[in-house]
Amino acid sequence: METRANHVLIGSFTLLIIVGALGFALWLAKIEIDRRFSYYDIFFEGSVAGLSEAGDVRYQGVRVGQVKEIQIDPQNPGQVRVRIEVDANTPVTEGASASLEFFGVTGVLYVQISAGDPNAPPITPPQGKQVATLPAQKSSIEELFAGAPQLLDNAVILVDRLSRLVNSDNRQTITDILNNVASVSGAVAGRSDEIDALLGNAHKISDDMAAISANLNRMSGRLDNLDGELQTFLSEANRSAQAIGGLASELDLILKDNKMSINSFTGSGLREFTLFVTEARQLVVTLERLAQRVESDPARFFLGTSASEYRPE
């Protein structure tokens, strides 16, 4: 009886596990059924080694879907068509593009979708097709590999030029240059005190230049003040010039108003004035002679006789 009860318990527990597993599977299936997806075709040039079906599809680094199909494009064998499945809510708009990127250094590839214009409409399938096409662009790794041959060629050329430069003829020259550099370094190290003194002098010169600059700034301020005084002087000179100009205008007006009188004076009046001056000069000469006569013999001038000379008895 006890053994039979154990079998019933084990069977019941097993049935519960099976029912739970079926319920969990149905729940997962319901989630997948309710989830909506969008599909895009990407046409890559060259090899897609490292990319596999069910591989990750990421949008700006966030996983949003997986790779559903990889095959050669029947219309262009040089291209590989990769169909991806992404969540329908992923904002794949006009301007978005896809590239192949590496998972670290593992060599496994995944599809990276770069964001497009957020204000642009979503990418839609062209007329007559059910799947939209997402433009492909080269990844940084692909660009590096594409430029690798040219890089190797440049490296070979550089190595060849270096080998020509460092030949047997130039080795001794390079050795001499290195020896000279070592000698100069030793000489500089031996004269460190003089170099320190030179640096000190340079620092002092810098301080002196700073002082000179300050003095120049003060002189500039004084020149600014002098410039103000000069402006005042020029203003006064301008007013004086205007006053002189006004006086000249008034004098010119007076001369114009008295032009006839001035002409009369410079004509007959000036001649009469000249005669008057001449006669006045003659009168002065006569008066001088008369004064000399009076001074030399006043008695004779006033009495008409000269005084007799006194003679002692």
User: Where are the chain's structural domains?
Assistant: 36-142, 169-257, 258-304
Judged against a pLDDT cut of 60, whether residue 201 lies above it is answered with yes
Among candidates 58, 49, 85, 47, which has minimal Cα distance to 69?
Answer: 85
Q: What is the mean pLDDT of residues 174-201?
A: 72
Model confidence at 267: pLDDT above 70:
no
Reported confidence tier of residue 264, pLDDT bands at 50, 70, 90: low
Of these ranges, 2-6, 21-25, 60-64, 211-215, the one predicted with the greatest mean pLDDT is 60-64
Q: Is 52 in contact with 106 (CB distance < 8 Å)?
A: no
Q: Give the tens place of pLDDT for each residue, 67-80.
A: 999 999 988 988 99
Q: Which of 101-115, 144-158, 262-276 has the lowest mean pLDDT?
A: 262-276
Q: What is the pLDDT at residue 179?
A: 77
- pLDDT value of residue 310: 46
Residue 244 scores a pLDDT above 60: yes
- Paired with 79 in beta bridges are 45
Q: What is the pTM of this model?
A: 0.42
Read off the pLDDT of residues 120-161 as tens digits, 9 standing for 90 and up.
999 989 888 889 999 998 866 666 666 667 777 788 888 777
**pLDDT value at residue 10:** 76
Closest CA to 113 of 130, 91, 131: 91
Once rounded to an integer, what is the mean pLDDT over residues 261-266? 56
Helix axes 168-190, 192-257, angle to 10 degrees: 80
Residue whose C-alpha is closest to residue 102's, from 146, 157, 47, 139: 139
Reply yes or no on whether the pLDDT at 56 is more than 70: yes
Instruction: Answer whether 39's CB lies under 8 Å from 131's CB.
Output: yes
Q: How far is CA 166 from CA 60, 160, 171, 180, in A?
A: 50, 10, 6, 18
User: Which of 126, 42, 47, 24 is closest to 84 using CA atoms?
Assistant: 42
Q: Pinpoint the alpha helices (H) of 191-269.
A: 192-257, 259-264
Angle 80-65-95 from CA coordinates, rounded to 5°? 65
> Which tens digits make up the pLDDT trace of 209-232?
777 777 767 766 665 665 666 667
Residue 174 has pLDDT above 80, yes or no: no
Tokens of 247: 């006086």
Q: Which tokens belong to 277?
A: 């001056």
Task: Go through the chain and tell me how many residues it has.
Answer: 313
Identify whether the C-beta of residue 80 lies closer than 8 Å to the C-beta of residue 71. yes
What are all long-range contacts of 105-110, with beta carbons under 8 Å and residues at least 24 apart?
A: 107/50, 108/50, 108/52, 108/55, 109/48, 109/49, 109/50, 109/51, 109/55, 110/51, 110/55, 110/56, 110/57, 110/58
